[in-house]
Chain A
Amino acid sequence: MTSLFERLKNLFGKNRRALPRGADEDISVLQDKAAKEKLGKSLEANLQKIKERGGFSYDISLRRFTAGDLPGALVYLDGLIDRRSAEEIIRTLIIESEKLKITLKKGRGLEIAREKLLTTDETSQVDNIADLFTGISRGGAALFLDGSPGALICDTRNPVIRPVSEPDNETTLRGARDGFIENLRVNTSLIRQRLPIPQLWIETITLGRLSRTEVALLYIKGLARDKLVREVRSRLQQIDLDAVLGTGYIEHYIEDNPYTLFPQAYRTERPDKVTASLLEGRVAIMANGTPFALIVPTELPMFMQAPDEYFEPLPFGIFIRLLRYAALIISLVLPGIYVGVVTFHPELLPTSLFLRIISSREGVPFPVLAEMLILELIFEMLREAGLRLPPAIGPAISIVGALILGDAAIRAGLVSPGVVIVVALTAIAGFTTPAFSLSVAFRLIRFAFTIFGATFGLFGLQFALLLTLVHLCSLRTFGVPYLSPLAPLILSDLKDSFIAFWWWGMRTRPKLIGGREPLRQPSGQKPAPGQDPEEEKNN
């Protein structure tokens, strides 16, 4: 009895705190310890420390050697390094030091090795356990020599990466085919290749207490406004989280208004898109481990641009832009208009059309709003299912969903063909938006629009549109109004908004973003035939 009582007391009472919880083993405590734990001069003590702190993990590899008469060791993580460069380091220390008659003196061994022997391109001195593990996790090999304090991280990286390939989510017909991968170095080099100028500045900052992810801030010095760069940098520096597994995490921390459906940073996998944005004076944020770059600041028209417009003949470019905007509006209001008109204002329809709709609704057991919402939800499910399925059986879903389900539902008289047509049209219209993040936002508010349309007709739709407009007008990303250049109206920037323009006409950069160096190119470059002096002579 007493023992049971004691146990209860332990569970609920004061004593609970006294139970062993391994307070000194918590991750934050361990991290602090690792950062403070200095590497000493003794080789054996250091190696022992590393093994213990690393929990004797199987991939911590250790190669001992003796250079001259000085015992040393190379510590690395198997699988992350290039073995040949590791061998090269050891060979250099053992053989070259003999040949060149360089003695590694006890106490200054690492220094001498670094200055006179090692040929690896990047070396850095570390003196605590935390930095050591960060170093070797990024593909370094830690060199220890007995008697020298700390360790030397030599760059031997052989990162595990996939090749650069075409981004699946943002395909173009005539644009560049390379896309970002999960390695930051490769990603920044893709930008560097496009902008071989010293003014492309890349700042790095390490984020994530546990993941210690390298995050890069890219901008063109002298083109991006200093105030913008300072603001982005300070927002990045304020982030304190445990791990950055994607730029989406960062986006949550730096966006201006967290309570909005609309994307406030442009996510892209395309280096050409990032380069073009940098050239407009924007700032890009990239992180190790994710193929998505973030571009800030953004405006809504930016989400409606695709690279194709700049590569196709211009009239076609303008046409597809306008078409896309029309589709965006259709995807937002069409279900609402259908429900509203059928419920409240049938007199607005021509009589013959109205009779067709009414006769096709004959016998349908649901009100038109329920019909619309159910079908919209089913479509969303189909879309999600198609996304999660492996590509091989993806088409099966569309056959089952679209053909069998839709056809059977109409034949059974559960839904009317009009609603099916509207949902299908809306879906197609929604897919024309180049940026997924924007189409998601519009897809969500579409439900609200449908309900508004069903409760108070076209007037309700107008109300919903006006509220959305107020919201969009009040949004800003890094000081830039979200609807610019449409609201506030900036006439000179309309050339690249809902229309496009010949590239020789794109004389100025966006006023609010690239206003620091507004002129992009000189005027008067409109091509005109007959300017060739040789040809004129012949005539």
Chain B
Amino acid sequence: MEKIANRQLYFILFMIRCNIAVAFLPVLTTADALQDAWISSMVQFFPAALLLLFFGSLGTRFPDLTVTQYSEMLVGRWTGKALSMVILWIFLHMAAIEARTYANMLITVLLPDTPLVFLIGTMVIASAAAAYAGIEVIGRAADLLFPIYLLMIIGSLLIPLPQLQTMLVNLEPVCARGAGPILRGAITPALFTVQYLVLTILAPSTNEPKRALRTAVWALAGGSAILIPIAIVTVAILGPVRGAQTVFPIFGMVRVITLSEFIDRIEALAVFAWGLGLFVEVAIYLYCGAKGLSQVMGLGNYRPLILPMAVIWTAFGIQVSKNVFQLLEFFKPLFFAPYALIIIIVPFTILWIAYFLRRLSRGRSGAP
């Protein structure tokens, strides 16, 4: 069986966490945290970690099984399959949203006249090639891309530094409006933990499945940590109100920067950083989706599913929303919170209950 190192899992999960933050900066744009967005970035880590532990720790009890396999074991064949499909759905949905967002951003930033289907399709093809090559190849690609990705992100944060000093007034006043806005700002980024459901498919493929959850928590911490400087710099440069109204705040921020006469369009850097992360992310979603689906349907090999799935995902990427504002609306806590919570809480509560019932009945019958 193909294996990835836990280090590679860390890189993959880190990039997944970072990507959406780079695109939307949800701490700023989904609620009214405004200049306190960077505090929201810190706060969101704790509920996110709790959710991750909630669904991740069930997996550590079945280190060799994916969620599709142990759910069938715990709650029976058909219920298990149904629960797995709920989890597989989120992979499709998140990948479609991400690919769509990226395509929309390319259209605004670089390629104004290119049709949407072309951009989404190309991105999905590259990711499908990686998913077809297998999890090992995705892991290796993540190994190579992660340093580049991180350098590009840090680079686009360092470039505005000279201008930052005068702009820091934008961060004041701190916590002026109490805890409410800060917590509201933390809701959506915390619930992006639904992305980490890939862990339930990937954990058995790691070298040390029992440590996979720990890796995931560290990746969550790393991805959240990088969110803080991003939030600070963006709010400082753009100002809280303008930042909250921008669709892609970071690109808006980078665009404002002119380092010198010669280098004045550095947002391409951030765009391509995100492209690299997105490639890994969509490839992982495709892989997990195909792998999970093949297990649900009892197929021995997931590869034949990749191509049809890639086609469907491209179509879904176009259909997922009418425009980018609608996407942004979807991420407002009012809608996204119940959606993500249901996806996480419902299947895993059922699974946990089934797990404890099983242990109880075993304990009663005297089996170890």
Contacts and interface: CB of A to CB of B under 8 A. Distances in A.
Nearest to A349: B265
B140 A481 contact: yes
A467 B276 CA distance: 12
Interface in B119-163: 119, 122-123, 125-126, 129-130, 133-134, 137, 139-141, 143-145
B210 interface: no
B129 A470 contact: yes
Contact of A350 (B126, B133, B264): B264
A483 B140 contact: yes
- From B114, B122, B139, B261, name the one whose CB has the most chain A CB atoms within 10 angstroms: B122
Interface in A41-78: none
A471 to B, nearest CB: 8
Contacts of A473: 130, 133, 137, 140-141, 144
Given A350-B261, A459-B122, A488 B143 contact: yes
A463 B122 CA distance: 7
A456 B264 contact: no
Contact of B141 (A348, A459, A462, A487): A487
Contacts of A457: 110-111
B7 interface: yes
Interface in A345-364: 345, 347-348, 350, 353
Chain B's interface size range is 20 to 34
B143 A459 contact: no
Interface in A414-449: none
Interface in A446-488: 456-460, 462-463, 466-467, 469-470, 473-474, 481, 483, 486-488
A462 B144 contact: no
Given A350-B261, A487-B144, A489-B8, 7 more contacts: A347-B265, A456-B122, A462-B276, A470-B126, A473-B141, A474-B133, A488-B5
Main secondary structure of the interface of B (DSSP, over half): helix
A344 interface: yes
A436 to B, nearest CB: 25
B137 A474 contact: yes
Contacts of A487: 140-141, 143-144
A348 B137 contact: no
A474 B145 CA distance: 15
A350 B140 contact: no
Contacts of A483: 140, 144
Nearest to A348: B265
Interface in A314-369: 344-345, 347-348, 350, 353
A187 to B, nearest CB: 36
Contacts of B261: 350
Contacts of A463: 122-123, 125-126
Chain A's interface size range is 20 to 34
B254 to A, nearest CB: 13
A456 B144 contact: no
Nearest to A344: B111
Contacts of B118: 456
B275 interface: yes
6 contacts: A459-B111, A467-B129, A470-B133, A470-B141, A489-B8, A489-B143
B134 to A, nearest CB: 7
Given A344-B111, A348-B268, A457-B111, A466 B279 contact: yes
Nearest to A476: B136
B89 interface: no
A474 B118 CA distance: 26
Contacts of A481: 140
Contact of B106 (A353, A459, A474, A489): A459
Nearest to A345: B110
- From A353, A456, A459, A463, name the one whose CB has the most chain B CB atoms within 10 angstroms: A459
A487 to B, nearest CB: 4
Contacts of B7: 489
Interface of B: 5, 7-8, 106, 110-111, 114, 118-119, 122-123, 125-126, 129-130, 133-134, 137, 139-141, 143-145, 261-265, 268, 272, 275-276, 279
A47 to B, nearest CB: 64
A487 B130 CA distance: 14
A473 B110 CA distance: 29
A345 B113 CA distance: 12
- From B125, B126, B265, name the one whose CB has the most chain A CB atoms within 10 angstroms: B126
Given A350-B262, A470-B137, A487-B141, A462 B110 contact: no
A378 B261 CA distance: 36
Please name the 6 residue pairs, one residue from A and one from B, whose CB atoms are nearest each other, closest first. Answer: A487-B140, A487-B144, A487-B143, A473-B140, A474-B133, A489-B143
Contact of A469 (B139, B144, B268): B144
B288 to A, nearest CB: 17
A463 B139 CA distance: 18
A456 B120 CA distance: 13
A481 to B, nearest CB: 6
Contacts of A486: 143-144
Contacts of B272: 458, 462
B98 to A, nearest CB: 15
B45 to A, nearest CB: 26
Contacts of A474: 133-134, 137
Given A348-B265, A350-B262, A458 B143 contact: no
Contacts of A350: 261-264
A473 B130 CA distance: 9
A457 B268 CA distance: 12
Contacts of A467: 126, 129
A225 B144 CA distance: 27
Contact of A459 (B110, B139, B140): B110
Contacts of B134: 474
A356 B133 CA distance: 45
A458 B114 CA distance: 13
Contacts of B279: 466
A353 B261 CA distance: 11
Contacts of B8: 488-489
Contacts of A344: 110-111
A344 B268 CA distance: 13
A293 B157 CA distance: 49
A470 B142 CA distance: 10
A127 B281 CA distance: 68
Contacts of B263: 350
Nearest to A350: B262
B211 to A, nearest CB: 17
A459 B5 CA distance: 30
A466 to B, nearest CB: 4
Nearest to B127: A466
B5 A470 contact: no
A462 B275 contact: yes
Contacts of A466: 126, 130, 276, 279
A281 to B, nearest CB: 21
A249 B297 CA distance: 46
A518 to B, nearest CB: 18
A481 B141 CA distance: 11
Contacts of B110: 344-345, 457-459
A470 B130 contact: yes
A174 to B, nearest CB: 32
A457 B122 CA distance: 13
B133 A459 contact: no
